[in-house]
Amino acid sequence: MNFEILKLKTDGAVAVVTISRPKSLNALNTQFFHEMDAMIHHVATLPEVKVMIVTGEGKAFVAGADIAEMVDKDQHQGTAFSRLGQHTFRSLEKMAMPVIAAINGFALGGGLELAMACDFRIAADNAKFGQPEVNLGLIPGYAATQRLPRLVGLANALYLLMTAQTIDAAEALRIGLVQKVTQPENLMEEALKIANTIAAKGPKAVRLIKEVTRQAMFVPFDEGQELEALRFGSLFGEGNQGEIGMQAFLKKEKPVWE
């Protein structure tokens, strides 16, 4: 597939996907969702890539969904547009590799929903966050009602969803919506530093941490800890990653992951 909205750059073990519709503040439209679906599948096939970063070009990460495309939709088409975005963001969330959102500028509406589908978020200190759909007489369509309370708690989520308040990066950090705030000029450097730190760890362990920890959000505790035990055990044994890491530790050497 030819990508018109998305740009891909690989830097060693890290893939950087940039949303490039700067004139519309990277607003999400049908073409974006189809391109992102294709990009997710493409990056997953790159053997050298262990971490993916998603960011936006220009003044915004993503300022929302494309209202010009949405305005004439009927009820059936609105539901279909919601399901399209939900499918894409769920596919992003389910990638085996970690996905980091590097948030520059506005992350509003669908943009915040995209960021929340990533595993964690690094923000420039001038970034702005919000779910303003209620201002248009709408509700979020790409699972903000599901992800936001899981990230910041029910009351914080309902407050943001019902008031449509825009918050700054410091407040987003305080409530746990983002994990780190940095100067705008250092955003990508910081995101790449974190991505490369993760990429240097045991690759199978990183993937299993994502799998087991995300499952913990949806299954009973006992079921989750049993999955943890099984995945923990899968890393042991001759030639397995755990043996490589533990042997290197005992020898005071740096592990060489297979």
Choosing from 93, 133, 228, 243, which is the catalytic residue?
Answer: 133
| Alpha helix stretches (DSSP H) within the chain | 30-44, 67-70, 75-93, 110-117, 144-152, 154-163, 169-174, 187-199, 203-215, 221-234, 241-250
Q: Tell me the angle at which helices 30-44 and 75-93 cross, rounded to the nearest 10 degrees.
A: 20
Nearest-angstrom CA–CA distance, 12 and 10: 6
Nearest-angstrom CA–CA distance, 98 and 1: 23
Mean pLDDT rounded to a whole number for the chain: 96
Choosing from 57, 93, 113, 226, which is the catalytic residue?
Answer: 113
Residue 1 has pLDDT above 70, yes or no: no
Q: Please indicate, yes or no, whether the overall pTM of this predicted structure exceeds 0.85.
A: yes
The one-letter amino acid code at 23 reads: K
The 10s digit of each residue's pLDDT in 142-156 is 999 999 999 999 999
pLDDT of amino acid 111? 98
Q: Is 113 a catalytic residue?
A: yes
The 10s digit of each residue's pLDDT in 88-131 is 999 999 999 999 999 999 999 999 999 999 999 999 999 999 99
pLDDT of amino acid 239? 85
Q: 34: number of CA atoms within 13 Å, CB side?
A: 7
Helix, strand and coil percent figures for the chain, each rounded to 5: 50, 15, 30
Q: Is 133 a catalytic residue?
A: yes
The 10s digit of each residue's pLDDT in 39-49 is 999 999 999 99
